[in-house]
Structure 1
Amino acid sequence: MNEKDWLIIRTVWQYKNITRAAEQLFTSQPALSYRLKQIERKLSVQLFEENGRGLAFSAQGRYLAQHAETVLAELQLLKTTLQNLNGPQQGELRIGVSSNFAAYCLPDLLHQFSQQHPGISVRLVSGLSEEMYIRLQRGDVHLALVKDDYGWKEGKRLVNEDNYYLISRQPLDLAQLPHLPQIKINHGGHITRLIERWWNASYSTAPHITMNVDKLEVCLAMVERGMGYAIVSSYQPLAESLFRVPLFVGDEPVKSRTWLLYRHASADAAVTLPFVELFSEYR
């Protein structure tokens, strides 16, 4: 099936009349009828039913006609995107990023991106991964850098992977951990579940949480002053003076994974694809 075949099916479906469809396609009625027979033979289908009341599509024909709209729209989007990619990329790129990745990993990447693509302006929003994923689903952002792939069915790329550690100012007696003060940072739902899985595999009692904080900087400052221990990932720089113990469930380390999520087919592909390509050699 080529583009002309899909256009023929859509036009005949639209007019429900071979003669009028032929006029719209600037061809003759016999030529159009012959092309329709070729499509039927090629796909081993029957496009029309005999009902004595004019042209009526079969179930197979109706399905192909409805699918034709999607195919032709995607082909047009592909042509437009290829034309836009042929010249300097321009436009606005909207990105949603998990807070810690935005603070510790993204600045150098965005600087590199702006140097390579000065015509693309970036609008950035950061927050919890769940919030950024919702923004992607709604179309508020073109791309999301988040801590889970959320079962996303379109474009995705693992861009960062780090271990989780217990950190403290003094060496820890792990057997006494449930009784020691924990400084808990709001990691978001997915990471919280990972840490809870590790805790429940290791201890039968709940942790002794004495502080709940929303910023990594606050958490680290408290740990460095001996106010308690914390659980953090390793992609941010940690003070050399801090003791750290990697987390394992069985033989598997507990890891922080950052995913880049995006759509394969998008009217904004001319600005999203250059950013996706930025991660081809990242990590």
Structure 2
Amino acid sequence: MNLKQLEAFLLVAELQSFTKAARQLYMSQPAVSFQIKALEEDLQVALFQRGDKKVILTEAGRLLYPEAKQMLKHYQKIKVGLDDLRDLKKGHLVVGASTIPGEYLLPLLIGKFKEKYPGIKITLKVSGSGQVGQWVREREIDLGITGAFIEGESLECRPWIDDQLVLIVNPSHRWASLGAVQASELKNEPMIMREHDSGTRRTIEKKLKECNLSLEKIPQGMELGSTRAVITAVEAGLGVSIVSRYAAREALELGRVKEVQVTGLNMNRSLYQVRHKQGIEGFAIRAFTEFINDRNVLERFLL
């Protein structure tokens, strides 16, 4: 049984004529007869009684008619829905992000994407980079954006955009007027840090190891669950911190904190896109990925 057979069956039943049905279907009368015969053979019943001037439904035909009509209606509804997905008139995607991209970058990009594709619903989940990687592994999200490289056999992790970490201090801090300090001097000040699952923290630990420093040797001021809280703590003079420039941009511009260069410490990093290797890419996620990878979009709204 296929849709062409059902469509031919419905038209013959409604018009009570193979010839008239063939005309509407732009088929030959023998071709319509072949479709009906194939359907009858598949169902192993006769669907029509053939008379001299018209054909009428058998009992089996009368049973099939409303079901076939409903099946064709469902097919047409599915086709319209799929066409809408293909044309990006509707759809739903779930994006997971660590704090920096999730709070400072993606909301703006999602807003601009929604202006272009208003029918697509986007859910944004924000957590630590490790949790985002876990969401991708368990296929709870379509795409992950993280502040650290996420390893895993089932994952594909590729660089998205560059970020720079900056050392920030309270404007009245003794380092604020220096402009730069040696990396080794970080051991002399309490450091306000994000939690262990944070991509920023992972990157800081890696960068410190590159210059033979350990986070354990730096006095721990506070451990906080969000970058906004870290910046606020620095503003309050509770310690110094290393955060993303994207996150610190507003506080730096308003003079609430000061940036201090760290000599001997590489402060550059990448933000990453994380996908499941076996994931199926739908129309909406493909369009969104192309949008956030568009250099013109990034330069206009982020960089």
Look up the match of 1:243: 258
Whether contact under 8 Å (1:113, 1:278) holds in the other structure is yes
Look up the match of 2:104: 104
Aligned ranges 1:27-176 → 2 under 5 Å: 86-151=86-151, 157-169=158-170, 170-172=173-175, 174=182, 176=185
Relative to structure 1, is the Cα distance of residues 142 and 218 closer, same or farther in structure 2, using a 3 angstrom cutoff? Answer: same
Whether contact under 8 Å (1:93, 1:123) holds in the other structure is yes
Deviation at 1:120, TM superposition (A): 1.3
SS of 2:145 mapped into structure 1:
strand
- The whole-number CA distance in structure 1 between the counterparts of 2:151 and 2:263 is 24
Q: How many residues align?
A: 200
SS of 1:163 mapped into structure 2:
strand
Deviation at 1:163, TM superposition (A): 1.4
2:230 pairs with 1:229 = no
Whether contact under 8 Å (1:171, 1:243) holds in the other structure is no
Deviation at 1:131, TM superposition (A): 0.6
Relative to structure 1, is the Cα distance of residues 118 and 229 closer, same or farther in structure 2, using a 3 angstrom cutoff? Answer: same
Give the gaps of 5 or more residues in structure 1: 1-81
Deviation at 1:262, TM superposition (A): 3.0
Deviation per CA, 1:218-243: give whole Å up to 9, x if none. Answer: 21112112221111111121324333
- The whole-number CA distance in structure 2 between the counterparts of 1:125 and 1:111 is 15
Deviation at 1:91, TM superposition (A): 1.9
Match of 2:190 among 181, 190, 210: 181
Deviation at 1:129, TM superposition (A): 1.0
Look up the match of 1:216: 227
SS of 2:140 mapped into structure 1:
coil
- The whole-number CA distance in structure 2 between the counterparts of 1:249 and 1:177 is 12
2:286 pairs with 1:276 = no
- The whole-number CA distance in structure 2 between the counterparts of 1:199 and 1:192 is 11
Relative to structure 1, is the Cα distance of residues 202 and 156 closer, same or farther in structure 2, using a 3 angstrom cutoff? Answer: closer
Look up the match of 2:207: 198
- The whole-number CA distance in structure 1 between the counterparts of 2:138 and 2:288 is 20
Relative to structure 1, is the Cα distance of residues 164 and 230 closer, same or farther in structure 2, using a 3 angstrom cutoff? Answer: same
Relative to structure 1, is the Cα distance of residues 221 and 137 closer, same or farther in structure 2, using a 3 angstrom cutoff? Answer: same
Whether contact under 8 Å (1:198, 1:249) holds in the other structure is no
- The whole-number CA distance in structure 1 between the counterparts of 2:264 and 2:244 is 15
Deviation at 1:89, TM superposition (A): 4.1
Deviation at 1:99, TM superposition (A): 1.9
Give the gaps of 5 or more residues in structure 2: 1-81, 176-180
**Bigger CA radius of gyration:** 2
Deviation per CA, 1:187-219: give whole Å up to 9, x if none. Answer: 636543432233342547701112111121221
Whether contact under 8 Å (1:163, 1:247) holds in the other structure is no
TM-score (norm: length of structure 1):
0.61
Relative to structure 1, is the Cα distance of residues 90 and 219 closer, same or farther in structure 2, using a 3 angstrom cutoff? Answer: same
- The whole-number CA distance in structure 2 between the counterparts of 1:271 and 1:225 is 43
- The whole-number CA distance in structure 1 between the counterparts of 2:162 and 2:274 is 15
- The whole-number CA distance in structure 1 between the counterparts of 2:129 and 2:192 is 21
- The whole-number CA distance in structure 2 between the counterparts of 1:267 and 1:177 is 46
SS of 2:252 mapped into structure 1:
coil
Deviation at 1:273, TM superposition (A): 0.5
Whether contact under 8 Å (2:95, 2:144) holds in the other structure is yes
Relative to structure 1, is the Cα distance of residues 208 and 265 closer, same or farther in structure 2, using a 3 angstrom cutoff? Answer: closer
- The whole-number CA distance in structure 2 between the counterparts of 1:156 and 1:198 is 20
TM-score (norm: length of structure 2):
0.57
Percent identity, aligned pairs only, is: 21
Whether contact under 8 Å (1:198, 1:247) holds in the other structure is no
